Each structure stands twice: as C-alpha cells, then as structure tokens.
Structure 1
Amino acid sequence: MGKYLDAAKAYVTRDAAGLLAGGRYALVHTRSMEFDELRPYVPGDDVRDIDWKASARSGHTLIKQFVSEKHHKILIVADTGRNTAAPTPTGESKSEVAAHIIGAVGLMTLPRSDEIGMVAGDRRGCVDIRLRRGETHVERILHRYVAQTSTNPGASDIVTQLEWVARHYRHPLLIVIVSDEPDISERLRAVLAPLTARHDVLWAMVTDMPAIGTEATGVGYDVADGRTLLGADVMGERVVAAYRRSEEERRRELSELLTAQRIPHARIASSRGIMSALVAMTGVYARAG
C-alpha cells in the first residue's frame, strides 16, 4: 500500500468492508449473479430458474437460487480549505484526521471492488476525481487531498463542494462528506434537499479544539481568517460559560438539521475515533435500506 493508506490502516479494523452492507439498492450496481444453492420451487418463482436435471433426479421441482454481487459507488466530498489546518481537541491537525477518514472509507471499498471518487476544494472551487476502483486509485485520492490542504488553501466552504455535486452528479451515490462542523446557512439548507433526494449522505465532522476553555491561556488566532483569540485567563469565567452554551446550542441545531434531512452524522475528535464513528453512521445508513 501507499504511505497514506498505510497511515489510515492503523485506525481501521479487519471487518471494515462489512460496514457498507445494506442500504438502498438504488446505490448499488449489480455486476454479476453467482449461484448459491438449490431450493424447492414455490409459486411465484421464475420458471426460468428451475434446474430440470436436478429436479428429475430428486423427484421434486428445484430452483436455482442466486446471490448478486453488489458494488457501491462512493463519493467523498471533502473540505481542503484553511479550516483543515486547525487542531482537533487531541492536538492532531484536522487535515490529518480527515485524511485518515478518507483512507478508512477507501480501505472499506477494496475487498468489494466498490468504486470511489472525490470532490474536494475550498471557496474558490473544486477538484473532481472520478469514480474508479482499486488501491492505487484510493492512494491517488489521498495524495491529492493532502496536496490540496497543504498548498495555499483558500477559505473553507463545504457548501461550494456540495453545490458542485448537486449540479454534476445525477446518478445515485453514497456520499461521505468530510469536513468540520459547518455553519447553518440558507445555502446549506438549500443544497441538502436535492442531495438527499437523489443520494444517500453520511457526514463525518472533524471537530475543532475549543477556541477558549478553562485551561487555555494567552493569545491564539483563528486559522480561517487570522483573527486573534484570547485565552480563558483573559476572557473570564462568564465569557467562557457563555461561549460553551453557544457552542452546545449551535451543535444541537446542526444535529437537528442533519437529522431532519436523514443524514447520519458523527463528530470525530481524533483518528482513534474514526472506526466507532463509521460504525455508527453506516449502521444508521444500513437500517434505512
């Protein structure tokens, strides 16, 4: 494997491929039919599936039962803007955690030969990597993501990428959004409706280190726009408490919006939390099928 897939592999369990079982059949492309077993014919079965030789030998009408090989088409939609340079609560960079999430999803596709692509970018526009299969292709996606986040990124705006997908991807997909926690806006509300009408959507949100907290001291800055952030020792307990209440309310409203749009979502604070988040999100996705 390439270095980026190798890095992601440390956070993925062996049975990860099974997480994509289930879900809406509209997402699935049937590549072939594979013989499974013979069983007794029941009214309503297709007579073309009757195995006449086996039926003659057994004295009972037997029918061939097939299982289909189903392959998902998965599109990663990722923010590569300046927000990805911020740290998570555990001190990892958000871009590193996001790369591991993308790698984890890529690893899930390999045993089943699922197709995977990526739309990534910032407020200025998008890079569109079309759906293909294979380890080399997944490594290429990761390489492009890392390059985008580390080379003169613009302002983050995941809605720009979502609007691109809504305009250009018409066939049903499983979309996995990888970004931070977006601000609720009319643009976000407007784009989610057509996306969820056509596609299944999961949202992996990489969380920020709190801007202020009881242990924060001194002066920092916001990676998005360079504004100064004062520590808790400067702001005082009342301001810190008000900030925490505001953050809780913002997160509650965002969760309500995504739930209303039937988008399974998870907040991921570190690479070690990736697998449990994927299990939770894909479990909701599979039960919706």
Structure 2
Amino acid sequence: MGRHLNLAKSYFGTDTRGILEGGRYALLHSRSLELDDLRPYVAGDDVRDIDWRASARSGSVLTKRFVSEKHHKILLVADTGRNMTALAPSGEVKRVVAANVMGAVGLIALGRSDEVGMVYGDSTGSATIRNRRSETHIESMLERFHSRSAEDVGTSEIVGQLNYVVRAHRRRLLLIIVSDEPDVSSDLEEVLKQLQGRHDLIWLMITDMPAVGGVDGEQDGYDVATGGFVPNGYALGPRVLNAYRAAEQHRVAQLDEFLSVNGVRFSRIDGSADIRRGLVAVSES
C-alpha cells in the first residue's frame, strides 16, 4: 500500500463496515461468484443460471441464486485552491486533512471494489481522473491531488469544480465533495440543484482554525485568501470578539440550513483524527 493510503489508514483504521453502505448509496448492483442457494426457476431467469444436475436430481428446474453485491461509482470533488493551505483546528494544513479524508474513502472503496474518480482544481481550472478500481489507481489519484494542491495555486472556487461535474458527468454517481466550508450563494444553490437531480451528494467540510481566539497570549492570524493579517483577540477586545463569535454561529447555522434544504448530507471534520467520526456521522444521516 502506498504512502497516502497508509497515512489515511493510520487515522481511519481498517474497519469499513457500515460506512457509506445501504440502498441509497448503492448505485451499481451486480452479483458475486458466491452461491447463496437454489430456488425454482421462474420465467425471466437467466437460463445460464440453471443448475442442471440439481434439477435432474429433484425432478424440477432449479436455478442458482448468487450473493448480491452493491457497488458504488464514487466521484471525489476536491478543492486544491488557496483555502486548503490554511490550518484546520487540529493544527494540520487543510489539504493534508483533505488527502487523508479521500484516502479513507479510498480504503472503503477498496473493500467493496468500488470505482473511484476525481475532479479537482481551483479558480484556474479543473482536472479530472476517470473512475477505476484498484489500490494503485487510488494511490496515484491521491498523489496527483497532493502535487496540485502543493503548487502555487489559485483561489478556491468549488462552484467551478461542481459546474465541471455538471457538464462532464451525466451518469449517476455518488459525489463526495471535499473542501472547506463553502460560502452560501445563488451560484452554489443553482449548481447543487442541477447535481441533486442526477447524483447523490455528500459534503465533507474541512473546518478552519478559528480566525480569532481568546484575548490572552495570541498572535495575529493570516488570511490565506486575501494575504492579509487578522488582528488577535487582545487587539480587538471583548466586544468585537463576542460579535465575531456570534457572527460565526450565525454563518454555521445558515450553511447547515442551506445544505439541508438542498438535499446535501454533510459533516465537518476538524482534523485527520476526526475522519472516522465524520464519515460515520454522514453515513447515519
């Protein structure tokens, strides 16, 4: 197993049972080679499944019933823009957490032979990796995300990547969006409506370290989107600090309502150690 998947496994573990399973997530149905039992043949059954020896012994036509398998066709939609160079509450760079989140999804996919692809990018454009199965494919995909997000990237524009998906992917997919918390906008609402009619959507949001903390012993923050510094809590004072926290609570509540109204299941992830909790939560929602 490659370094990206191994790192994801160190946080997520190997137990993938119950995560992203169930009827609403299963987009591709097939059967395994594992025989379940025999049952009487009925019109419409595949004649290739008839067990002729068992039929001869029983005096009636019997057909084989195989264990049903449910596979996913997963498309990761990832932000490689400047927002992902900020810090998560865990102290990790958000792009590192995002890579581990997608690695965990890859581990889940490997256990079920799911197909996984990716659309990733920033304001300068989007790139795509076609859906395939295999450990090598997923590791290569994570390496390409890592390389792209470590470059001199443009600003984050997840709406651009989502619009790319609208244009390029018409067959039903399980879309797993990995980015920071998006800004609520009419453009985002419009693209989500287009995607929701065709795909299943999950949004895994890597949260930001608070821009302003307490009033004691704190340094100025840095806004990766604008390049500007954010005054610390001591400089701002208690009144402004309380107003900031109230505004943040309002923003989070507004985003939660927006995603719920638009039929998007979502979870916030504060760091790599929080990945399992986040994936379990979105699986149960």
- Alpha carbons of structure 1 residues 97 and 25: separation in structure 2 relative to 1, 3 Å: closer
- Alpha carbons of structure 1 residues 58 and 104: separation in structure 2 relative to 1, 3 Å: same
Q: Tell me what 1:112 maps to.
A: 112
Q: For residues 159-195 of structure 1, give each alpha carbon's deviation from its aligned partner in whole angstroms, at most 9, with x where no partner exists.
A: 1100100111000001110000000011100000111
Alignment TM-score, normalising by the size of structure 1:
0.89
Is 2:266 the counterpart of 1:244?
Answer: no
- Alpha carbons of structure 1 residues 197 and 33: separation in structure 2 relative to 1, 3 Å: farther
SS in 1 for 2:254: helix
SS in 1 for 2:19: helix
- Alpha carbons of structure 1 residues 123 and 29: separation in structure 2 relative to 1, 3 Å: farther
**AA aligned opposite 2:139:** E
Distance 1:237 1:38 in 2: 73
Alignment check: 8 A CA contact 2:41 2:62 kept? no
Alignment check: 8 A CA contact 2:176 2:204 kept? yes
Distance 1:71 1:52 in 2: 30
Is 2:149 the counterpart of 1:149?
Answer: yes
Distance 2:159 2:258 in 1: 15
Distance 1:258 1:44 in 2: 46
SS in 1 for 2:212: coil
Q: Tell me what 1:273 maps to.
A: 274
Distance 2:261 2:55 in 1: 52
Alignment check: 8 A CA contact 2:27 2:173 kept? yes
Q: By how many angstroms is 1:67 displaced? A: 2.6
Q: Tell me what 1:229 maps to.
A: 230
RMSD: 2.4
Q: Tell me what 1:76 maps to.
A: 76
Distance 2:196 2:187 in 1: 15
Alignment check: 8 A CA contact 1:17 1:109 kept? no
**AA aligned opposite 2:267:** A
The number of aligned residues is: 283
**AA aligned opposite 2:258:** L
| Identity level (%) | 51
Distance 2:46 2:267 in 1: 47
Distance 1:60 1:19 in 2: 42
**AA aligned opposite 1:269:** D
**AA aligned opposite 1:279:** V
Alignment check: 8 A CA contact 2:29 2:70 kept? yes
Q: Tell me what 1:100 maps to.
A: 100
Distance 1:72 1:259 in 2: 23
Alignment TM-score, normalising by the size of structure 2:
0.90
SS in 1 for 2:128: strand
Q: Tell me what 2:23 maps to.
A: 23
Distance 1:86 1:220 in 2: 10
Q: Give 1:1-289 correspondences, 5 Å limit.
A: 1-16=1-16, 18-24=18-24, 27-30=27-30, 34-39=34-39, 41=40, 46=45, 53-54=53-54, 57-58=57-58, 64-214=64-214, 215=216, 217-284=218-285
Alignment check: 8 A CA contact 2:26 2:71 kept? no
Alignment check: 8 A CA contact 1:73 1:114 kept? yes
SS in 2 for 1:36: strand
Q: By how many angstroms is 1:11 displaced? A: 1.5
Alignment check: 8 A CA contact 2:25 2:200 kept? no
SS in 2 for 1:15: coil
